[in-house]
Amino acid sequence: MANWRDGNGTLRVGADPTEIPLEIAASYGARTRGLLGRDGIDGAMLLTPAASVHTFRMRFAIDVAYLDRELGVLAVVTMAPGRLGLPRLRSRHVLESAAGAMAGWGLRAGTVLEVDVPGRLTSR
């Protein structure tokens, strides 16, 4: 999806119809702020464009999914606070959630994500 904007949407993982609350951070300021200063997240945050993340000054561990341009999952890792993630080749977006959440959603490498933003529908 071209022209991502900061805002909210809904995430669906694979064929599971469960709707997961999604925050979209597309501007430089929103991506830089990310999850800093929070004690947790209900759902997930999509950083776009992004190829890597860090957890410096974070208060909690997070799951990180690296996504290609079609929202296909390339890799999933869990990062403790104070870590620097390496950039992933072909990664165009990064999805963040509380540690353990992605496993509960069945999200893993090869999973196809769908993002529903009011007025738009994006899937692979």
- Local mean pLDDT, 10-residue blocks, the chain (124 residues): 85 90 96 91 96 92 96 97 92 97 95 86 50
Per-residue pLDDT at 118: 81
| Whole-number Å distance between alpha carbons of 1 and 121 | 9
| H helix runs in the chain, sequence order | 28-33, 101-105
Per-residue pLDDT at 90: 95
Look-up of token digits 């890597």: 52
Per-residue pLDDT at 63: 97
Per-residue pLDDT at 124: 45
Per-residue pLDDT at 2: 57
